[in-house]
A and B are shown apart, each in its own frame.
Chain A
């Protein structure tokens, strides 16, 4: 009997040297110039957020550094009517779907505006119970099917969450009811300090698809070209009613789990260095330089643009910090019960006393 993992070879289109080992598929060279710029901006934001925590401006932050190609490749192909149900490390994915990256800062600030998803964005707010959102993704996809909405849903989750019972229940329900959903697992190799080899004995996450009689795919999550083309095809097929699908995007958490974590305690430097060479942005840069689509001057211009953009994001963040405490009481139920209204009065009196 062959290994199940052999049925799921790694799909690569652009290798870590920036060489095309496949074609660009649905993408043009100009698309890659644009996506390079966007990834650089988002990387700059992520690094700044890390520093903001160190400066005490925000609280605990979970960086996505290294996972930009996976997150952008998973979301750029989506249409307006498609849904994104993200995990909490996916601010880059949310950004693509219309959620400002300031929400990543609100999240870390403990600011309620983190959940205030713009009306135009079909994105659920991040929640932190590992894997619980996969069932919400199934439900959302199921609803679009029952309502004949011709929409695809993508739910993102990490490798650690695949050990959770909810993820099993989600895959089983999705399969039984044939919902138009893409399970998009960002396998970044680490769940805080526990490596993927301790989450599971299986060699791949993708092979779990077999158990649910779903199509599964294992893609180089640091290769934007590969991820984009795969998800484009699967989203089209989901909209035609062919889902669900499981995608394992093999990537690496270049940073710590969060600002409260110190990976030197459990990871070896050689491993980190090996993965740093596979950085999704670096490989794209190599390709673009070699193809003369960008030059050193252009790279410096992107540096400057990134800094400027992150400054703007920070200004937006600071401008939006003020919020009425009423949101705390008003959104528990559609209509505030009398007993809660009494507690709200109490809270407001307290707030007044504290200010006085």
Chain B
């Protein structure tokens, strides 16, 4: 057991997947010699060679579109898109192609592949680099959407995503890549897709989030307990599609209040979907409306406005108190 960052845990997962299965390949822009712009694939080229760790031309649609063909014909591509904001370039190959291979062929073919990509703000990146676009893909049947928030889950979820028989969009919170370390087992292990995690138990309110928002929720729960004597439960969704509705609904039935937090813009964000699920399945348990803390309905701001644009702990605490006092 070693203490690893998310970046190191992902690197370990990729190395173990490449080691275990000859059909696994890693491909994308700068993933070879450079080890990826965030060094997630560092050292893999030297270890596994240029047929398995592949620097591709700079073309997102080409990366995902060829991965679809590779997967259909028996390979297990793990493609990297350098930043989630660039995913529009390959939207068709994900949303109309990879996602539909099984459906279109009545199960004759499938496209088991992983598309890894960093996302989220707070690192003062140029425009487009910080966008949170997960809702585009939760709105796309046939794709699974997975996002870890800590090193242990990062390794286990990535290995599970590579094993998965369907295409998985694997969103890596870039602000957290090297933010902290956790104990991560040396041996390979899986964290099951489709399961949310109650990371903090509580009785008065449920705070729901994923990826980069999870540390925020934990800090808010600490603050609510310390200053307001409010016991907040924190749920890390980990998989957005397919959604673990049961864990959410069970929690909210107990706490009777919920706040959903995401960095993505507010309108048609995945928070709206969570709120809809809760009101459909736990309406009579609710003591307050389900509140959202989100980015604003603007393009992701230039960095000088970034800190005030993003959800923060103060906002989550204030919104939770609104729900408590409603």
Q: State how many angstroms separate the Cβ of A112 from the closest Cβ of chain B.
A: 6
Using a CB–CB cutoff of 8 Å, the interface residues on chain B facing chain A are: 23, 25, 51, 54, 56-57, 59, 61-62, 64-75, 77, 92-93, 96-97, 100, 102-110, 141-142, 144, 164-166, 194, 241-243, 245-246
Majority DSSP secondary structure for residues of B touching A: mixed
Query: Are B57 and A176 interface neighbours, CB within 8 A?
Result: yes
Which chain A residue has the least Cβ–Cβ distance from B69? A139
Q: Are A112 and B72 in contact (CB under 8 A)?
A: no
Distance in Å: Cβ of B56 to nearest Cβ of chain A:
7
B62 and A169 form a contact (CB under 8 A)? yes
Shortest Cβ gap from B209 to chain A (Å): 20
Q: How far is the CA of A333 from the CA of B56 in the complex (A)?
A: 29
**Could you list 28 examples of A-B contacts with CB < 8 Å?**
A124-B105, A124-B109, A125-B109, A127-B100, A127-B104, A129-B96, A132-B92, A135-B62, A136-B65, A136-B97, A139-B69, A142-B69, A143-B73, A146-B51, A165-B61, A166-B65, A169-B59, A169-B62, A170-B62, A173-B56, A176-B56, A177-B54, A330-B107, A332-B103, A332-B142, A333-B242, A339-B242, A340-B242
Q: Is the CB of B92 within 8 A of A139?
A: no
B110 and A172 contacting across the interface, CB-CB below 8 Å: no
Within 8 Å CB of A340, what residues of B? 242
- Our pick among A112, A125, A129, A136 for the contact of B69 (Cβ within 8 Å) is A136
A115 within 8 A of B: yes
CB < 8 Å: which of A140, A173, A330 contacts B62? A173
User: What is the CB-to-nearest-CB distance from A247 to chain B, in angstroms, rounded to a whole number?
Assistant: 19
A146 to B72, CA, bound (A): 13
A-B contact count (CB 8 A): 148
- Per-residue CB contact flags for chain A residues 314-356 toward chain B (1 = under 8 Å, else 0) read 0000000000000100111111011110000000000000000
Contact of A139 among B51, B65, B164 (CB under 8 A): B65
Residues of chain A lying within 8 A (CB to CB) of residue B106: 112-113, 115-116, 327, 331
Q: Are B108 and A117 in contact (CB under 8 A)?
A: yes
Report, nearest first, the 6 A-B pairs whose CB atoms are least far apart: A139-B69, A135-B65, A337-B242, A143-B73, A169-B62, A334-B165
Closest-by-CB residue of A relative to B65 is A135
With a cutoff of 8 Å between Cβ atoms, the chain A residues found around residue B96 in the complex are 127, 129, 132
The contact of B68 among A136, A177, A334, by CB within 8 Å, is A136
Q: Would B104 and A115 count as touching, CB distance under 8 A?
A: yes
State in angstroms the CA–CA spacing of A135 and B57 once bound together: 13
Is residue A281 within 8 Å, beta carbon to beta carbon, of the partner chain?
no
Contact (A143, B103) CB under 8 Å given A132-B97, A173-B57, A334-B110: no
Interchain CA distance A173-B70 in the complex, whole Å = 13
Beta-carbon contact of A115 and B242 below 8 Å: no
Closest partner residue, chain A, to B144 (CB atom):
A333
Q: Given A169-B59, A173-B56, are A139 and B66 also a contact pair (CB < 8 Å)?
A: yes
Contact call A142/B66, Cβ cutoff below 8 A: yes
